[in-house]
A and B are shown apart, each in its own frame.
Chain A
Amino acid sequence: SAVISQKPSRDICQRGTSLTIQCQVDSQVTMMFWYRQQPGQSLTLIATANQGSEATYESGFVIDKFPISRPNLTFSTLTVSNMSPEDSSIYLCSAAGGKRLYEQYFGPGTRLTVT
């Protein structure tokens, strides 16, 4: 299984600013994903981070608000742009690779509070 780290682990930001979250995997993986977990809620998929091409966004999420980069097979970033208090959530990245692409492993999450 892959070991995934995220930076920062938590942050408090002012509305109107942007925050970039980093996700690092300890091995090369085929698939990387970004999820949002709003307070007391389940996880919702934001997008699939594609290596070398634009991310694939789910309904309700747009690139201007959540730009994603994936420059190589072990690293991805998610930016939360022009933040509002409604963006206060935990943001998690996950990865899958090898022969078990269906099996996702998750990072510890980034807890974001927007004031």
Chain B
Amino acid sequence: AQSVTQLGSHVSVSEGALVLLRCNYSSSVPPYLFWYVQYPNQGLQLLLKYTSAATLVKGINGFEAEFKKSETSFHLTKPSAHMSDAAEYFCAVSGGSNDYKLSFGAGTTVTVRA
């Protein structure tokens, strides 16, 4: 079984500051890991994914994440926050190429201060 834990339900950053969202996973098989973003009253949009290729993954809107097996982590970062980054972010895991069901973390709400 796979699961993820997101540390911090709410993160507040200043515009232009680093955004760091933490995600740790638990998996009995090599995992596939994802970050999704949900803007108010919208569905989920895929930001980026790790599927056992490069450990540093670049996504849309300037976000990137690094897969660290030794730390069982997949933290999401963006060097410089923009007001439009205010949203809820979900980390998710699946069991790899033979298990497509997603298990989501609890989510982290990001607010950006001007």
Q: Which residues of A does B touch, CB under 8 Å?
A: 1, 4, 31, 33, 41-45, 48, 92, 94, 96, 101-109, 111
Contact = CB atoms under 8 A, between A and B. Distances in A.
A12 to B, nearest CB: 16
Nearest 3 pairs of A and B residues by beta carbon: A106-B44, A106-B43, A108-B43
Interface stretch (B11-19, B20-28, B71-79, B94-102): B94-102
Interface of B is mostly: loop
30 contacts: A31-B100, A33-B101, A41-B106, A41-B107, A42-B90, A42-B104, A42-B105, A42-B107, A43-B44, A43-B90, A43-B104, A44-B104, A45-B101, A45-B103, A48-B101, A92-B43, A92-B44, A96-B100, A102-B32, A102-B49, A102-B51, A103-B46, A103-B49, A104-B102, A106-B36, A106-B44, A106-B45, A108-B43, A109-B42, A109-B43
A108 B42 contact: yes
Given A33-B101, A45-B101, A102 B42 contact: no
A99 B41 CA distance: 30
A107 B101 contact: no
Interface of B: 32, 36, 41-46, 49, 51, 90, 94, 96-97, 100-107
A106 B45 CA distance: 7
Contacts of A4: 43
A26 to B, nearest CB: 14
Contacts of B103: 45
A33 to B, nearest CB: 7
B65 to A, nearest CB: 15
Contact of A45 (B43, B46, B90, B102): B102
B106 A42 contact: yes
A30 to B, nearest CB: 9
